[in-house]
Amino acid sequence: MRFRPLALLLCAALAAAPSPAFAWGALGHRIVNGAAMRKLPDGLPAFLRTLPAHDEVSLLGPEADRIKGAGSPLDDDDNPGHYLDALDDFSVAGVVKLSALPKDRAEYDRALRGATPPTDEFGQGYLPYQIADGWQRIVRDLAYWRVDVVGEQKAPSPEERAFFTSDRTLREALTLRDIGYWGHFVADASQPLHVSVHFNGWDGAKYGNPNNFSESKTIHARFETALVRAVATEGLVAARVPAVRVSSDPLLAQVGAYLAATESKVPDVYRLEANGGIDGHSPAATALVLDCLAAGAAQMRDFIVEAWQASAEAKVGYPGISVRDVESGAVVPTHAGVGLGD
């Protein structure tokens, strides 16, 4: 896919800017978001599969990092949503297993406060819930869009039909923005050093270091930014994205499995650093970083497909009309029925 001239100019400006050690760097986030959109299947709404949609979502990939530095309370509240400090046993603080994530942030935080020593979601990171919450917003976006599509054809008056046309246009813009911003966190979860206590040096004094892995405080940036800039393109990553895989597992179970798969690659990053592969851009290091980026793009794409499927079973408005009933013709939508009646 080719970027439009405006998108090319914006990408060039972003690439020229300094890149702090976030997961990934700006380029990696644009690659993950762009590859995910490029690999959407034909069964999804056409507005998601256009070149402008691809460009917008790709450019929004770094957005959640670009707003950092706003100050308190935003930074203190928001920054822990980008990471998870999982231990080598695939638990958080020894009390929350990635394979059994609590149902929401409140229960997650309560569990962490019972750890020894006590901690909380802000100390350990709450990335799984950032991903899950964003996914549910996208389900709602797509549910409203489905009702808008019916409403602009079948609402009971010209005024009502015009409303649904306007609301559909707005909803498409909101959906792309929500996907682009949320994709940042899905991509964060594909960077091994962003889901581990060994996020920037192994810290053997605290966790033990039988393999004598690096204690360097630059490994994070060298892997996620310098290596990506040297070897990665969206085309190379998209070529590694597998076919759509839709799961029937609960959302947080899927998120936990995704995080565990990413965390399992942490020793690989450190072994490559030890043999010079990260700085030397070795074939093994290139393969690892491309595979991690592709895993992020695949998960983001699959979650979008699942959001589209889930939107068919949703309700919109208050007290709620069924998308299924609207699409079957059992309910004729009105602007009041979608929550804008007072």
CA–CA gap between residue 282 and residue 285 (Å, rounded): 5
Q: Measure Cα distances from 317 to 150, 168, 322, 337 in Å.
A: 15, 15, 9, 6
pLDDT of the residue at 319 = 85
pLDDT tens digits, 192-219? 999 999 999 999 999 999 999 999 999 9
Predicted pLDDT of residue 318: 87
Tens-digit pLDDT profile for residues 142-200: 999 999 999 999 999 999 999 999 999 999 999 999 999 999 999 999 999 999 999 99
CATH code assigned to 5-340: 1.10.575
Mean of pLDDT values over 14-42: 78
Instruction: State the residue for tokens 């004094």.
Output: 205
**Cβ atoms < 10 Å from Cβ of 49:** 15
User: Comparing C-alpha atoms, which of 213, 186, 193, 211 is closest to residue 307?
Assistant: 186
**Beta-ladder partners of 97:** 91
Cβ(163)–Cβ(153) under 8 Å? no
Extract the runs of DSSP E, i.e. beta strands, from 74-132: 91-92, 96-97
Residue 340's pLDDT band (cuts 50, 70, 90): confident
d(C-alpha 56, C-alpha 48), whole Å: 10
18 pLDDT more than 80: no
More confident residue, 140 or 11: 140
Helix (H/G/I), strand (E/B), else coil: 285: helix
Structure confidence at residue 342 (pLDDT): 57
Residues 280-333 have pLDDT tens digits of 999 999 999 999 999 999 999 999 999 999 999 999 998 899 999 999 999 999
The mean pLDDT value of the chain amounts to: 93
Residue 13: per-residue pLDDT = 40
- pLDDT exceeding 70 applies to what percent of the chain? 93
pLDDT digits (tens, 9 = 90+) for 92-123: 999 999 999 999 999 999 999 999 999 999 99
With bands split at pLDDT 50, 70 and 90, how would you rate the model's confidence at 238? Answer: very high
- Quick one: residue 125, left, alpha or beta (phi over 0 = left, psi -120 to 50 = alpha)? left
pLDDT given for residue 178 in this prediction: 98
The answer for residues whose C-beta is within 8 angstroms of residue 320's C-beta and 6 or more apart is none
Lowest mean pLDDT of 13-22, 56-65, 126-135, name the range: 13-22
Q: What residues pair up with 316 in beta bridges, in sequence order?
A: 321
Is the model's pTM score more than 0.75? Answer: yes
Q: Which pLDDT does position 17 carry in this prediction?
A: 38
Q: How much is the pLDDT for 3?
A: 35
pLDDT of residue 285: 98
Report the run of H or E that residue 321 belongs to, with start and end. Answer: strand 321-322
